[in-house]
A and B are shown apart, each in its own frame.
Chain A
Amino acid sequence: MDYGLTEQQREIVELARQIAQKKIKPVREHYDKTEEFPWPIVEEIAKADLFAVYLPEECGGLGGGTLELALVAEELSKACGGIALSVATSALCAIPILLYGTPQQRKRWLSELASGKRLGAFTITEPGAGSDATATKAAARLDGDHYVLNGIKNFCSTGSAAELYTVFASTNPNRGARGISAFVVEKGTPGFTFGKKEEKMGIRANSTYELVFENCRIPKENLLYKEGYGLFVAQDTFDCSRPGVAAQALGIAQGALDETLAYIRMRKQFGQSISSFQAIQHMMADCATSIEAGRALLYSTCRAMDRELKPAVDKAIQEGTTVFEAMEKLGSRRWTKESGMCKVFCSDTAMRVTTDCVQMCGGIGYMRDFPVEKYMRDAKITQIYEGTNQIQRNEIAMMMIKEAASKSRKELVSA
């Protein structure tokens, strides 16, 4: 379907498609098998400027927004959702810096992430703090010009490969949720080491690590915004990044369906192509319909977000403030509900579509030699990370209740 993409957006899609089809497809099986980090492909993605699409021009970006990021994530995920994750985690590291970083912090770190010369990662989860981030145990204590960071983070995507990490830690344990702060920590900082490397079901072309901070001294300037704002940073980041997960999920679904279609048109049983059987046809139609519905929701949400986000970025650059402050001044709204809807719908779609694709392919679909089962394994994580789909539904419902309450208040006033 023609979504009226601009010329630059079409170029982005085309280039991402070429990388996916020419560079990623031939090697995805290798990385899935070995769990090696796909450095040669990441270099290709960087050279093509695909790490830069959503970042402002002042820091080496191409001036796009969440839609551009989604287009890249979707297109790369059509070939391999695991390899595409390198782009998504860099964005997850960059977005908090973009939203809450000072102009100096933006220039310093975003240009490195835009060039793809350094990868980024985001780390909030702890052994005891998953969906409940308020239970964060990692702590940062101010000591002169440095914060001293202690604690353990786990399940960090692009762990070890990334060189910049946004890390969440409590600066005031007495204040609970209001005591959490966000920091940028560079790989190589003394006291920052990597623990266990996880072995995973899917997205095996990405490295998932435990991060260990032991008296890790980080410069005071690495604090994002103010102490105690960490959970706001995380929530606003997720609002902007969840469309990226949705896009990854959509790409996985589309990639699986494309492989499946090629196979079922060729596969013959009872003397005819199995694509001529209605049982298969209905599954094909349902898969395609959900994907297209997800895409329509995702692109519309991204566009609506970018219409507010981009003027705020411009204003922040002009006035030398943080983007978050510019958004407050412009009266930008929160996108928790819509971005959660994108993530829920597209990731649930991805799980169902990839399961159906394995089913349509039959026995061969279950085999490692055939690419379809990998899509099914890769799809699962999209229902889990950046907030499980259950948490998403909670948040969507919460926003609905809040909106309804505020609407009824307004009605009372006007009556």
Chain B
Amino acid sequence: MNIVVCVKQTPASANLPIDLATGRIKTEGLQLGVNPFDEYAIEEALRLKERLPGSSVSVLSFGAAAAEEALRSALALGCDEGILLYDPAFEQSDSLATAHLLCAAVRKLSKAKGAVALVLCGKQTNDGESGQVGAALGAWLDWPAASCVKKIPQADDSKIVVERLMEDGVDTVELPLPAVVSVIKGINEPRLPSLKGKMAAKKAVVARWGQAELAADVSQIGASSASVVVKTAPPETRSAGMTVPGGSPEEKAAFLVQKLKELKFI
């Protein structure tokens, strides 16, 4: 089975420095890594590869040149090839445009090395957080798709069965292949790389595909994206609250419950 995993390089730290003048994240010196949700997608792909002999895992990343590092991390874990999608014409792509580029890359891969059967994505990124790319990629490819998948109990060359974690329980959905699936934390426990894998990944050649290779529909990508970020700013900070007075736990509890009652929570 030819499997594709889409990964994004995102900030590795949760505490991000913000340039107050521009309202943007300060990028210099920022530590980057593989988007945490994508690590689960990589792991799931590798497990499917181990389960289904003759499978291969290709990793796609849309991003700047530095995103090559994210691809190498995936290679170190056991993925077979990494492809960076980069072109100045791709800049300002919103999430639907990003999915469009990934769609063009999946199609190109299918032509080059045989039909791609399954695309795995993380549920969302930890920077943009829209959680739209997987579903949008399914739409662009016109393949069935499922999001927030917590388990893939069944997979063969023609079909997968997935369990999707919903707010009120778990849906089971059957998807004939090819299909797109986005996975959540908890679907597996991502492995760590091996030293031998890391050494090999350092030497691996990471392909770069630009607009010349992808020939994506320019009316859908880059500056032609349907949505735009007008501006960004740090959120307003909450003003400090009060320390609940009282000596004993009972006194503190009485004060708190009184306040909650006034606010109509009780």
Of the 9-residue stretches B192-200, B214-222, B224-232, which lies at the interface with chain A?
Answer: B192-200
A62–B195 CA distance with the chains assembled, in angstroms = 8
Is B191 in contact with chain A by the CB < 8 A criterion?
Answer: yes
Q: Which of chain A's residues have a CB closer than 8 A to the CB of B198?
A: 11, 15
Query: Are the CB atoms of A48 and B199 closer together than 8 Å?
Result: no
Query: Are the CB atoms of A8 and B199 closer together than 8 Å?
Result: yes
Query: Are the CB atoms of A62 and B192 closer together than 8 Å?
Result: no
Within 8 A of A (CB), among B59-109: none
Is A391 in contact with chain B by the CB < 8 A criterion?
Answer: no
Within 8 A of B (CB), among A40-76: 44, 47-50, 52-53, 62
Count, chain B residues at interface, CB 8 A: 8
CB distance from B13 to the nearest CB of A (A): 15
Q: 1/0 contact trace for A15-32 toward B, CB 8 Å?
A: 100110011000000000
Q: Which of chain A's residues have a CB closer than 8 A to the CB of B194?
A: 47-49
Query: Are the CB atoms of A47 and B195 closer together than 8 Å?
Result: no
Q: Which of chain B's residues have a CB closer than 8 A to the CB of A11?
A: 195, 198-199
A12–B194 CA distance with the chains assembled, in angstroms = 10
Interface size class of A (residues with CB under 8 A): 10 to 19
Q: Which of chain A's residues have a CB closer than 8 A to the CB of B193?
A: 15, 48
A49–B192 CA distance with the chains assembled, in angstroms = 11
Within 8 A of B (CB), among A51-104: 52-53, 62
Closest Cβ neighbor of B194 among chain A residues: A49
Closest Cβ neighbor of A44 among chain B residues: B192
Query: Are the CB atoms of B191 and A15 closer together than 8 Å?
Result: no
Within 8 A of A (CB), among B180-209: 191-196, 198-199
CB distance from B149 to the nearest CB of A (A): 23
19 extra interchain contacts, Cβ-Cβ under 8 A, other than A8-B199, A23-B192, A53-B195? A8-B195, A11-B195, A15-B193, A15-B195, A15-B198, A18-B192, A22-B192, A44-B192, A47-B191, A48-B192, A48-B193, A48-B194, A48-B195, A49-B194, A49-B195, A49-B196, A50-B195, A52-B195, A62-B199
Nearest 10 CB-CB pairings of A with B:
A49-B195, A49-B194, A49-B196, A48-B194, A11-B198, A18-B192, A48-B192, A47-B194, A62-B195, A15-B195
- Report which A residues bind B (CB closer than 8 A): 8, 11-12, 15, 18-19, 22-23, 44, 47-50, 52-53, 62
* A-B contacts, 19 listed (Cβ < 8 Å): A8-B195, A8-B199, A11-B195, A12-B195, A15-B192, A15-B195, A15-B198, A18-B192, A19-B192, A23-B192, A44-B192, A47-B192, A47-B194, A48-B194, A49-B194, A49-B195, A52-B196, A62-B195, A62-B199
